[in-house]
Structure 1
Amino acid sequence: MREKLVIIRGAGDLATGVAQSLYEAGFRLLLLEVERPSAIRRQVALCEAVYDGTATVENLMCRCCQSLAEVQAVWEADDIPLIVDPSGTSIATLKPWAVVDAILAKKNLGTSRQMAPHTVALGPGFTAGVDVDAVIETKRGHQLGRILWQGTAIANTGIPGLIAGYGKERVIHSPRAGFVYGLVHIGDKVKKGQPMAVLTKEAIPVGTTASASMGVPVPASLTGFVRGLIRDGYYVPQGFKMADIDPRDDERENCFTISDKARNLGGAVLTALLWMGRGDV
């Protein structure tokens, strides 16, 4: 399997679940990201390596690389390399065995069947058999993880899946544009109405402790654990997803582990690739 290179476009929390499944199956991986990833569930997203140089999620160690020579060194260490390559220009150079689009942009940002012998995409925005070989359903519910060989995934509803009876209430969007600074941390327990972040007009100096009085406070939408919160200093437009709360009292540890949804999608991608490559794996 180590001779089979799979390039994953995207390295957010769901892409990280895909990466874990493929890594544990023995595939050689390369992750492609944008210059400023906007992951909410930062504790379980390998894209944080773009900012910090490295990122560790469960049994995965990811390293951000500046060249293909560095990528090779990371492979030799049995870790996962990541490069900033939002347009996917490295794909033509590396000629991977498979390409997985796990950007979750709800639209196709340039992935095509011509990129590799085997191609898979997650969620809406792709047509199986046209844009890619297979599409994976990402909507929570009975169809989650279904492999589609024809047609498209369920259209984006804009409503998050239910957790403990809460859907849209558990996801917080920016009430206005500004720079985000957290007043709490991922894993903290918050009460409904408690300020959990502040939006400022200007970036605050590094090392300065943020306070609700610095700008527009963003209150918790319900009581629960902070499951996700965009990193400090990230500039968001109005309406941008910036935080996520888990209302379950006994699920704090889940803030720091790959989600059931991400593992489901990872298994589906692995199954699709093994099916497509059954003659050459």
Structure 2
Amino acid sequence: MSADFPLVLIRGAGDLASGIALRLHRCGFPVVMTEIAQPLAVRRTVAFAQAVFDGACTVEEVTGRRCTIEEAMAVTAAGAVAVIVDPEGDAITALRPPVVVDAIMAKRNTGTRITDAPLVVALGPGFTAGVDCHAVVETNRGHDLGRVIWQGSAEADTGTPGEVTGIGRRASRVLRAPAAGHVIGRVAIGDRVAEGETIAAIRAGGVDVAEIPA
């Protein structure tokens, strides 16, 4: 990474956060990402959050490596994206990045402050530009998707998944667990499945307690 590009710290390492990280990394910015101990990323094959589970992962030929706060700058200097388990945000204080991006996509502010860095950018609803951050990026599908907001907020959370071409019922593409436990996948991301086919099971106490159909 070039010394001409400032460090960017991204809160969250899901798919949207990873898209941001890829673009910045390819432009030459050193990128550090922070995550919780059990990431909630859904599109795991295209999310640097997978490095939390596997130690390292590759997204479009860019490697993300799990590391400590103390190891982060060495990881970026070696040409990788640093991924830190840091639910409390200690890396912001320790690394003092010039740029912080909140890409957690929690639909609410989970602790980002406009004073965290000289430039603080947040994605989606839950933030007000000029109060919580310097700029907000619109994430709702439609005409304003990707718009940078310097005053005000993004569109409010609709509570309904965005429309995807070919799926008539928007809510039908989101599957919810019928019981508590660990999700055990029965198919891989990218596999073609038929409606009604079992794609995962919920396991609790070593026993499958429920199945999840497509």
Q: Is residue 69–residue 91 contact of structure 2 (8 Å, CA) maintained in 1?
A: no
Q: How far did 1:175 drift?
A: 2.0
2:172 to 142, 146, 169: 169
Q: How far did 1:67 drift?
A: 4.2
In structure 2, C-alpha distance between the alignment counterparts of 1:90 and 1:72, rounded to whole Å: 11
Match status 1:189 vs 2:192: yes
In structure 2, C-alpha distance between the alignment counterparts of 1:13 and 1:41, rounded to whole Å: 6
In structure 2, C-alpha distance between the alignment counterparts of 1:120 and 1:158, rounded to whole Å: 23
Aligned pairs for 1:34-45 (under 5 A) are 34-45=36-47
In structure 2, C-alpha distance between the alignment counterparts of 1:16 and 1:22, rounded to whole Å: 10
Query: SS at the partner of 2:175?
Result: strand
In structure 1, C-alpha distance between the alignment counterparts of 2:178 and 2:203, rounded to whole Å: 12
In structure 2, C-alpha distance between the alignment counterparts of 1:123 and 1:195, rounded to whole Å: 33
Q: Is residue 68–residue 84 contact of structure 2 (8 Å, CA) maintained in 1?
A: yes
Match status 1:46 vs 2:35: no
Q: How far did 1:73 drift?
A: 2.3
Counterpart code for 2:30 = R
Aligned to 1:144: 145
Aligned to 1:180: 183
In structure 2, C-alpha distance between the alignment counterparts of 1:158 and 1:165, rounded to whole Å: 20
Match status 1:114 vs 2:115: yes
Query: SS at the partner of 1:190?
Result: coil
Q: How far did 1:114 drift?
A: 0.6
Match status 1:63 vs 2:65: yes
Query: SS at the partner of 2:28?
Result: coil
**Which has a greater percent of helix?**
1
Aligned pairs for 1:124-273 (under 5 A) are 124-166=125-167, 167-203=170-206, 214-220=208-214
Counterpart code for 2:53 = Y
Counterpart code for 1:17 = G
Aligned to 1:277: none
Q: How far did 1:65 drift?
A: 0.4
Unpaired segments of 5 or more residues in structure 1?
Answer: 205-213, 221-281
Q: Is residue 65–residue 82 contact of structure 1 (8 Å, CA) maintained in 2?
A: yes
In structure 2, C-alpha distance between the alignment counterparts of 1:143 and 1:11, rounded to whole Å: 23
Higher relative contact order (CA 8 A, sep 6+): 1
In structure 1, C-alpha distance between the alignment counterparts of 2:206 and 2:142, rounded to whole Å: 40
Q: How far did 1:195 drift?
A: 1.0
Q: Is residue 179–residue 203 contact of structure 1 (8 Å, CA) maintained in 2?
A: no
Q: What do residues 96-141 of structure 1 show as CA deviations (whole Å, max 9, x unaligned)?
A: 1110000000111111111100000000000011100000000111
Counterpart code for 2:148 = I
| RMSD, aligned CA | 1.3
Q: Is residue 45–residue 57 contact of structure 1 (8 Å, CA) maintained in 2?
A: yes
CA distance change for structure 1 residues 133 and 34 in 2, over 3 Å: closer, same or farther? same
Q: How far did 1:85 drift?
A: 0.7
Aligned to 1:6: 8
Q: How far did 1:72 drift?
A: 2.7
Point out 4+ residue stretches in structure 1 off by more than 6 angstroms: none
Match status 1:75 vs 2:76: yes
Q: How far did 1:144 drift?
A: 0.6
Q: How far did 1:90 drift?
A: 1.6
Q: Is residue 179–residue 202 contact of structure 1 (8 Å, CA) maintained in 2?
A: no
Counterpart code for 1:55 = C
Q: TM-score, normalised by structure 1?
A: 0.72
Q: Is residue 18–residue 47 contact of structure 2 (8 Å, CA) maintained in 1?
A: yes
CA distance change for structure 1 residues 183 and 154 in 2, over 3 Å: closer, same or farther? same
